[in-house]
Structure 1
């Protein structure tokens, strides 16, 4: 009977908490918004490529206040916000503008499980946009700048007995600052969208020993049938050992040991290669030991996959996957949500767009001027989709000239702006290095903040020689990098050709179809061309694809259609913004997309 009473009390408390929160505003929502559990928000382990068994999710309702920049910490908070949804989003329950003159303060309490005693406690932030300061129990413990990458603090020295207090302050100048921000602007219109301020990815705790694994960097070499592991360990001593086990299903196929801090190479016999058609992943178990005693164990995965380029027998430089010519075709994917903005309502929603991309017959996604949570890339790895990863643009410049190799004027960034770009681009590549789905880095798009193109491209190539670099997607061309990337709307067109690089059409299409009941705003919706129904849009899509087939023979090795979904005022998606309706005939698009992809071998 006591157990029944306790359960009833807990259910009542949970229901009361849920009742205090509801989505803000009257914008359209996805079906997943109604599935949100305030007491269990995005409960999946945030970093599957490097996973431990024990962790604690800090998502949920926090206190918040929006104050003038530089104001003292609030003594009382103005309301509750659902973390990790951005302040301006409906699912935050707030949906308020912030801007460069204001700061967002967050606060919550948490308890460290007694079983974590004598462990170091790591506080992880998936991503916070843009400048973050963190306090534990009133003590400032650190700060971070950057809106797209994870960061971590060891909070152990600042903990006390009982409940702990976590306070976070965030400032984000949106387009008043030079920082990478993607499509965010103060006054959204056309191809520019609502600002995203504050915490927008999972916040979580993890207990570890003083000696623990901090990072794992895997590099596959299918030509040598090897995979290299660079394992970074905290507080390691001479004599500590790292052991890596490689598994094919439940079968261990290889193991190797090395002193902590040493690179470790493992031969993979009869390697199974990863591709969109066969996305095979090897599982890993990595253990750090000291004096024969286990200190840390993480589980992860890698793939045997190679991306490269090679001149074919017709003299055309082609992209290759696993040493075979391979045409890459996919949508421009911006990763925006009508209810969560940068943040998908659930993990199922996050995965959904990738599944639909495969349903439409594509083998690739261009992740456009945004970086996703780690789970998104793991979904791409597991489902089998290639990814071109953009650097989110920042600063204010668009001196665009994409019709000639030599006439583009580069932007002269300030020293501060340049330093921010370099820091954040390096952090993004470090964060995403080990995800096999990522095959191309894109430092610049359409001259947005484009500067020192040759230098940035060369540095990117040197920092990660395992991938191709598309230095300026549709931007000012400087005959650098691996790819010449043209943008042409609405129909694909080859208006330039480079005999020494891979040639692609990095954006085309943009066929618009506004559907009442599924629009972010009424009136003034935008597309490169507009039609009245699904058949008309599909007919136009197929006509463009037929033209694209001709251009594959002429020299294109990849193509990007704009775009996966409608986004705010843009209505040129394959799906509506709320993901309720496929605006094109999926079967017809799948069929013609398959023809485009296989045209390379016809």
Structure 2
């Protein structure tokens, strides 16, 4: 294992300058925090008048113009003073959530919205440190506390934090956030996607208080080469970190070990135990793991398992497993808009379990932490994905660094989750020289951060030269991945479902094969014969024909059809059928199961793990 990359403060180039990325706080899920969720004030600013002057120069650079800048929360000092905004007189909006489904006038809006939250905070101990932690905000987020800029974050689906110790007051703090969800060619993802671009503070915002020296991070997993040993690293944050005592306890295994940190506050260890119960889909065993220093203590729930490939097999704890999966978008099954709550995650994963799944693909970006925490408890294996989607700016180095940073933040957050077995680099990307280099660099970086999991990407299938009925995978990145995954839509975008009967597969790689997507659109309640597109019968027939076809793939070790629930997409505009929804779900947006749900459920119920 290599952990050093986790402790580095990253600096990377983005459009407009440098962005500082602070070290991510780990296991906020289990720490005591103060929630800043609830009602926030907001101002819609499509021309970004609150950030730029009329020459399109950042107001941050002109102290004499700061009253114009929304982040200062300025108030008129007298009756003649000109201030052209007022958060306190503006409308309110709920956090967490997206602005699109809360405010009808913002349904299609892409641009800047300013958020403001006022709060009081009394530090428990004078020497303590305080951070503001964002579970996610889409897409570019500039953060200010009491008129001072804390930093900028890029990416809509990963957590980030900033220290606020020196700026915090006991009374009348104001946190102002500039959130800009404009799609950008150089962004990750780029301009063109097939999901809704929900804007805003879409996940929880929290205040985290720590001791002066605290437990910053840790990576505790089973040694993949020796399943009797638990291996890991712990990292402290603070001053004078050399020779600090750090204790690791796993009471149920009778483990209680004390270590001493090195000069940069790191501890590495390997502990043997003969009595480990391994996490599995049938026995998702989690242990209480306690990490304690002289000043800090954190508790997590961690499962121990091995995952690897052997030829075309996927082995979970040395036993072959077939991944009975489904793809999922992060939309709420309870209300409209971006999913973020524990109840959202529970409903989605309960539907997956009802379907017969032991595995889910979280597409096409990192989902909220509830999903993987619940998957740990429910015995569901997870594919997590970086939002490198379709065609991005492969030759742009800042785009690569952006993708690398988002992937790093995902791995940092979820590296201790037993359920996570696959890190996916990308989805449906064209096999060019620049793209191959881009993805290979991401894969190398991922393996340096975490060598306990498998690497994949959703590739595309193609015909064997001279015979369109024989399909293969002709992609150089197939040599890099551990698991060969691809999307295919024979019978939907290519011919009708009966075409599946004429297709055979010639995949030469001696690797496990996953079909990461297949499917067809159907509107719930629209019935007809199996040849009428958009009917439940058409979708049902496509599932029947596709399952028969892919059963002929020798190396097939699982699949995750597209998709569990209908989801919003601006690309899907057919009146009375799509109406802004991608209809490939096995369940409608209002929770009704379509006929194809039961076809797949029957297949999974009769398929061994």
TM-score with structure 1 setting the length: 0.76
Pair 1:556–1:396, CA change in 2 (3 A) = closer
- State the secondary structure of the residue aligned to 2:299: strand
Separation of aligned partners in 1, 2:30 and 2:604? 40
Query: 1:430 and 2:412 equivalent?
Result: yes
1:255–1:266 contact (8 Å) kept in structure 2:
no
| Alpha-carbon distance, 1:439 to partner | 0.8
Aligned pairs for 1:339-488 (under 5 A) are: 339-344=335-340, 346-393=341-388, 396=391, 412-447=394-429, 450-452=435-437, 453-474=439-460, 477-478=475-476, 479-488=479-488
Aligned pairs for 1:170-569 (under 5 A) are: 170-174=179-183, 176-181=184-189, 192-221=194-223, 223-236=226-239, 237-248=241-252, 253-260=254-261, 261-289=266-294, 295-311=295-311, 317-337=312-332, 339-344=335-340, 346-393=341-388, 396=391, 412-447=394-429, 450-452=435-437, 453-474=439-460, 477-478=475-476, 479-489=479-489, 490=491, 495-515=505-525, 530=533, 532-533=535-536, 537-538=539-540, 540-551=542-553, 554-568=554-568, 569=581
Separation of aligned partners in 2, 1:224 and 1:105? 50
Pair 1:192–1:471, CA change in 2 (3 A) = closer
Partner of 2:141: 132
Pair 1:114–1:178, CA change in 2 (3 A) = closer
2:145–2:167 contact (8 Å) kept in structure 1:
yes
Pair 1:192–1:465, CA change in 2 (3 A) = same
| Alpha-carbon distance, 1:513 to partner | 3.3
Pair 1:53–1:567, CA change in 2 (3 A) = closer
Q: 1:238-281 CA deviation, whole Å, 9 max, x = no partner?
A: 23111111133xxx621111113111222232211111121111
2:521–2:582 contact (8 Å) kept in structure 1:
no
Separation of aligned partners in 1, 2:142 and 2:510? 47
Partner of 2:96: 84
Q: Which moved more, 1:431-440 or 1:353-362?
A: 431-440
Unaligned runs of 5+ residues in structure 2 are 1-24, 53-67, 71-84, 462-473, 492-496, 569-580
Separation of aligned partners in 1, 2:217 and 2:278? 24
Partner of 1:593: 604
Separation of aligned partners in 2, 1:528 and 1:480? 40
1:147–1:180 contact (8 Å) kept in structure 2:
no
- The one of 92, 95, 98 equivalent to 2:106 is 95
| Alpha-carbon distance, 1:474 to partner | 2.5
1:512–1:529 contact (8 Å) kept in structure 2:
no
Pair 1:362–1:196, CA change in 2 (3 A) = same
Partner of 1:571: 583
1:575–1:582 contact (8 Å) kept in structure 2:
yes
| Alpha-carbon distance, 1:171 to partner | 2.2
Separation of aligned partners in 2, 1:214 and 1:385? 28
Separation of aligned partners in 2, 1:340 and 1:420? 29
Pair 1:584–1:220, CA change in 2 (3 A) = farther
| Alpha-carbon distance, 1:112 to partner | 1.1
- State the secondary structure of the residue aligned to 1:263: strand
Unaligned runs of 5+ residues in structure 1 are 1-46, 186-190, 290-294, 312-316, 398-410, 517-526
Separation of aligned partners in 1, 2:164 and 2:531? 50
| Alpha-carbon distance, 1:528 to partner | 12
Aligned pairs for 1:4-153 (under 5 A) are: 49=27, 51-52=29-30, 54-67=32-45, 68-69=47-48, 70-71=51-52, 72-74=68-70, 75-77=85-87, 78-88=90-100, 90-91=101-102, 95-99=106-110, 102-113=111-122, 115=124, 118-153=127-162
2:214–2:236 contact (8 Å) kept in structure 1:
yes
Pair 1:464–1:239, CA change in 2 (3 A) = closer
RMSD across aligned positions (CA): 2.9
Q: 1:515-555 CA deviation, whole Å, 9 max, x = no partner?
A: 47xxxxxxxxxx9984534x77546534533444443xx22
Pair 1:280–1:542, CA change in 2 (3 A) = farther
| Alpha-carbon distance, 1:354 to partner | 0.8
1:509–1:528 contact (8 Å) kept in structure 2:
no
- State the secondary structure of the residue aligned to 2:409: helix
Pair 1:98–1:354, CA change in 2 (3 A) = same
Separation of aligned partners in 1, 2:606 and 2:372? 27
1:86–1:92 contact (8 Å) kept in structure 2:
no
| Alpha-carbon distance, 1:561 to partner | 1.1
Q: 1:319-350 CA deviation, whole Å, 9 max, x = no partner?
A: 11111111112111122248453334x32122
| Alpha-carbon distance, 1:495 to partner | 3.0
1:87–1:94 contact (8 Å) kept in structure 2:
no
2:389–2:426 contact (8 Å) kept in structure 1:
no
Separation of aligned partners in 1, 2:403 and 2:375? 26
| Alpha-carbon distance, 1:396 to partner | 4.1
| Alpha-carbon distance, 1:149 to partner | 1.5
